[in-house]
Amino acid sequence: MGNLERNPNVKTYTRKELVGYLTGLAGQNIIYNIIATGLAFYFQSVIFLPAIACSLIFALARVWDAVNDPMMGTIVDKTHTKWGKCKPYLLFVPVIIMITTILPFVNNMYAEPNDLHEVMLQDSKAYVDFVDSDLTKELEYDGVKYLFVPADGTWELQKDAEGKTLMDEDGNIIKTKVMIYTADDKQPVADTALAETILQEFQSELGFVKKTGAKAALIIAWAAISYVLWGMTYTIGDIPLWGVTSLMTEDQHDRAKVLTLARAVANVGMIGTLFTMIAPAFQGMFKARGMDEAHSLRAAYITLAIVMTIFASVLFQFAGISVKEKVNPKNQKTYTIKENFKIMFGNKPFRQILISGILRSPIQLLAIVAMTLVMYYFFNNDIGATLFVNGDLNITLVLKIVILVIGLFGGMIAFPLFVPKFINKFEKKKLYNFFSLVGAIPFALIFVFFLISKGNVLTWGGMLVMSVLFFMAGASMGSLNVLQSVMIADCVDYEEYHTGVRPDGVFFSGQSFITKLSAGIASLISGAVYAVVGFSDKNVALLNNALVNGADFQTYNGGKFAAAMFFLISIPPAVGMVLAAIPTLKYALPNDEHKRILAALIAKRHGAEAELAQVEEAAETVVPADAVEAVEDAVTETAEESAPEDEQ
C-alpha cells in the first residue's frame, strides 16, 4: 500500500481499515445526497413550499454553518480519548444523523391540490346548457375566461343527517361535480386535460390550496428547524470523517490514495440522488389505501426516506468501527474557537482554498437542480408512464438516459481516480487552476446547446453531445474535489510545521463549511430564477396536474421552466469555475515545499533529531525531491533502531 511496503515504520492504514472507512463514507454520502438533491424537490414539488421560502431556509442554514462548522472543528481538535479525536464521533453519530435525516420529510403539505371537485364533461347526461346563477364563478386561464357551475346546486360537499361528509362504498369522499363552460359562447369544455387543469386553477383561486396563518407558519418552521438540525448533526459526523484521513497515515502517497478513493466513493454515494426517482414507485401502495395523488406521493417519499436512511446509516457505522488513528502529534495543545478562526485565516494556503471553494458555490446547482430537471424534462414527472408505453419498456428512452448517465458518472467517478498520478507529475496548483478554468467551458456549452437544439436535446445526437459535455464537466468537478481535499490535508501539515498544532478538525470543518455554504448560495440562485419564471408552490401543483392530464413539460408555459433548469445547471456553474481559479493563481504551498515540511514532521514524530536538524537547516532553500527521500530513509532507519520489538 504505497510507502507502507517501502517504509514499514511510517505508520499507515491497513487494507481492512481502508475498506471499512470507504464503506462508511459511501453510507454518509448517500445520506447527504438524499437531502442535497431529494429534499429540495420534496419541499418544492411534493409538499409545495414557496420557492422563496425554500431558498431562505437553505441559505439561512448555511449562515449558521459559518459558526457551527468551525465550532465543531474546534470541539474535535479538543477531543482526547483512547480511540483518538475523530473516531469517537464516527462511532456514535450515525444513529443521530439517521433520525435527523428523516425529520424534514415528516411534514405536512403547504399547498394541497384539492380533489374535492371533479369535472363533469359534455358527454355526461347530467351536463346541461349553461344557466347563470348566483353560484356561477368566473376565472381567466391562459387568456380565456371560463365559467364554473356546481352540478348539484352547491359548492359544499354532500353530508348526511349527522353532518358527516358522504363517502362511497370504498370509503372515498363523494366529490362535488363541476360543469365548466367558456364564457364567450357558453359552451361546455370538452377537452379532459384542459378541464382538469383549469379546475385545479379554479380551486387554487378559491383558496382551497394554500395553507394560511398558523398552519402555514408551522409547516415552514418545521421545514427550517428540521433542516438546520440535520445540518448540525451531519457536521458532527462529516468533519471527523474527513479529518481522520490525515490521521490514518503519515505517508503522503497513501494519504493521496485514501482521499482520491474517498472522493470517488463520495460520488458513488450519489445513488442517493435516485431517491427522487424511486419514491414514486411506492405511491401505488398508498393509493390502494384510498389516498389521493398528492398525499400518496408524500407518503411514498417519507417511506423511502426512512428505508434508504436506515440502510445508509448502517453503512456509515462501518467507518467508526474500522478506522484507527495512526498519527499522534507530539504537541497536543488546542485553541479556542476565536483562536482557531485566526489560525484558519492566518494559514495562507488554506485561506486561498477556502475562498476558491466559496467562489465555486454555483457548482452545487448541479446537485440541487439535476433531479428536478431529470424528473420533469426526461420523465415528464411520471417515470412509470414514460418508461412503459402500453406496458412495454421504452428501450429508446432507457438507452438515451444510459448514455447521459455514463457521461456524467464516468466523468465524476472514473476520471478523478487518475488525479494521484497527475499529482505525481504536475504541480497541484496548476492542476487545480487547469480544471477550474477548462471545466467552465463544458458547463457553459450545456445551455448553449439547449438553445441551439431549441429546447429538445432528447434526440440521439443531442444525448451524445450532452453526454460528452457532462463527462467533461463532471471530470473537472470530481478532480477539483479530490485536489481540494488533498490540499487541505497539506495545509494541516503546514500548520503543524509552523505552529506545532495539528488542526485536522478545524481545517476539514472548512471543507464541510464550503460544501454547505455553497449549497446555500446555490439555493438562493435557484430560488431567484424559479421566482422569475414562476416555478413555485401553486404553479408547481398546477404543472403536476397538467402533466398528469397530457401536457408536455418541454413546451409547458412556453418552455420557460425547462429553460430555467438548463440555465441553472450551466451558466452559474461556469461562472463559478472561472472565479474559483482567481485565489489560487499564486497558491502559497508548492509541492516541493510540502515534501520538505512532511519529511520534517515525520522526523519529529519519530524522534530522529539529527535528521530533523538537517531538514530544518534546509528550510531557507527549496529541497529537491531526492534530498527529501534521503531524509525520509534516514528517518526510517532511526525509527527502526528505536522502535520496540513488537512494532518492528
Quick one: pLDDT at residue 230? 93
The lowest-confidence range among 93-97, 103-107, 120-124, 452-456 is 120-124
In a domain, 585, yes or no: no
Domain end point (choices 580, 604, 632): 580
In terms of domains, do 557 and 501 share one? yes
In terms of domains, do 278 and 362 share one? yes
In terms of domains, do 401 and 328 share one? yes
List Cα–Cα distances, 272 to 20, 36, 367, 412, in angstroms.
19, 9, 11, 15
Q: Is the pLDDT of residue 325 over 90?
A: no
Q: Is the pLDDT of residue 646 over 50?
A: no
- Phi/psi at 489 (5° precision): -60, -35
For residues 639 and 250, give the distance between their C-alpha atoms in angstroms, rounded to a whole number.
13
Of the pLDDT bands very low, low, confident and very high (cuts 50, 70, 90), residue 272 is confident
Domain end point (choices 169, 188, 205): 205
Q: Is the pLDDT of residue 258 over 90?
A: no
Buried b (16+ CB within 10 A) or exposed e, 407-443: bbbbbbbbbbeebbebbeeeebbebbbbbbeebbebb
Cell 444510459 sits on residue: 402
In a domain, 29, yes or no: yes
Whether the Cβ atoms of residue 416 and residue 260 lie closer than 8 Å to each other: yes
Q: Which cell is 320 given?
A: 467508526
In terms of domains, do 378 and 338 share one? yes
Q: Is the pLDDT of residue 114 over 70?
A: no
Cα dihedral 324/327/330/336 (nearest 10): -80
Domain end point (choices 580, 608, 631): 580
Quick one: pLDDT at residue 216? 87
Whether the Cβ atoms of residue 194 and residue 535 lie closer than 8 Å to each other: no
Q: Is the pLDDT of residue 377 over 50?
A: yes
Quick one: pLDDT at residue 639? 44
Hey, CA dihedral for 283, 288, 294, 300, is it positive or negative? negative
- Domain range for 83: 3-113+212-580
Q: Which has more pLDDT, 326 or 290?
A: 326
Of the pLDDT bands very low, low, confident and very high (cuts 50, 70, 90), residue 192 is confident
Of the pLDDT bands very low, low, confident and very high (cuts 50, 70, 90), residue 642 is very low
In terms of domains, do 250 and 186 share one? no
In terms of domains, do 493 and 442 share one? yes
Residue 179, strand partner residues = 149
Q: Which has more pLDDT, 375 or 611?
A: 375
Most confident among 116-125, 133-142, 203-212, 572-581 (mean pLDDT) = 572-581
Cα dihedral 93/99/104/106 (nearest 10): 180
Quick one: pLDDT at residue 113? 60
Cell 470530481 sits on residue: 478
User: Nearest-CA neighbor of 313 among 233, 414, 423, 239?
Assistant: 233
Q: Is the pLDDT of residue 188 over 50?
A: yes
Query: Which run of H or E residues covers position 150?
Result: strand 144-150
Q: Mind listing the pLDDT tens digit for each residue in 130-187?
A: 777 778 888 888 788 998 888 777 777 677 777 676 777 766 667 778 888 898 888 8
Q: What secondary structure letter does DSSP report for 557?
A: G
Q: Is the pLDDT of residue 592 over 60?
A: yes
Q: Mind listing the pLDDT tens digit for each residue in 467-476?
A: 999 999 989 9
Most confident among 4-13, 85-94, 126-135, 288-297 (mean pLDDT) = 85-94
Quick one: pLDDT at residue 607? 62
In a domain, 472, yes or no: yes
Q: Is the pLDDT of residue 208 over 50?
A: no
Q: What percent of the chain has a predicted confidence (pLDDT) above 90?
A: 25
In a domain, 494, yes or no: yes
DSSP helix/strand/coil, 457: coil
Q: Which has more pLDDT, 313 or 512?
A: 313
Whether the Cβ atoms of residue 89 and residue 205 lie closer than 8 Å to each other: no
In a domain, 586, yes or no: no
In a domain, 452, yes or no: yes
Q: Is the pLDDT of residue 334 over 70?
A: no
In terms of domains, do 104 and 178 share one? no
List the strands of the sheet with 117-119, edge to edge: 117-119, 176-182, 144-150, 137-141
In terms of domains, do 411 and 443 share one? yes
In terms of domains, do 345 and 417 share one? yes
Q: What is the DSSP string of 183-203?
A: TTT-PBP--HHHHHHHHHHHH
Quick one: pLDDT at residue 20? 93
Question: pTM, whole model, 2 decimals?
Answer: 0.66
567-572: average pLDDT:
95
Q: Which has more pLDDT, 326 or 554?
A: 554
Of the pLDDT bands very low, low, confident and very high (cuts 50, 70, 90), residue 121 is low
Quick one: pLDDT at residue 472? 95
Q: Which cell is 232 given?
A: 448540525
Q: Count structural domains, the chain.
A: 3
For residues 455 and 413, give the distance between their C-alpha atoms in angstroms, rounded to a whole number.
28
Quick one: pLDDT at residue 575? 96
In a domain, 571, yes or no: yes
In terms of domains, do 643 and 533 share one? no
Neighbour count for residue 373 (Cβ, 10 Å): 18
Of the pLDDT bands very low, low, confident and very high (cuts 50, 70, 90), residue 102 is very high
Whether the Cβ atoms of residue 488 and residue 587 lie closer than 8 Å to each other: no
Quick one: pLDDT at residue 301? 92
Of the pLDDT bands very low, low, confident and very high (cuts 50, 70, 90), residue 617 is low
Mean pLDDT of all residues belonging to the chain: 80
Neighbour count for residue 392 (Cβ, 10 Å): 8
In a domain, 75, yes or no: yes
In terms of domains, do 103 and 149 share one? no
The CATH number that applies at residue 569 is: 1.20.1250.20
Quick one: pLDDT at residue 645? 41
Q: Is the pLDDT of residue 560 over 80?
A: yes
Whether the Cβ atoms of residue 591 and residue 615 lie closer than 8 Å to each other: no
In terms of domains, do 489 and 504 share one? yes
Quick one: pLDDT at residue 587? 92
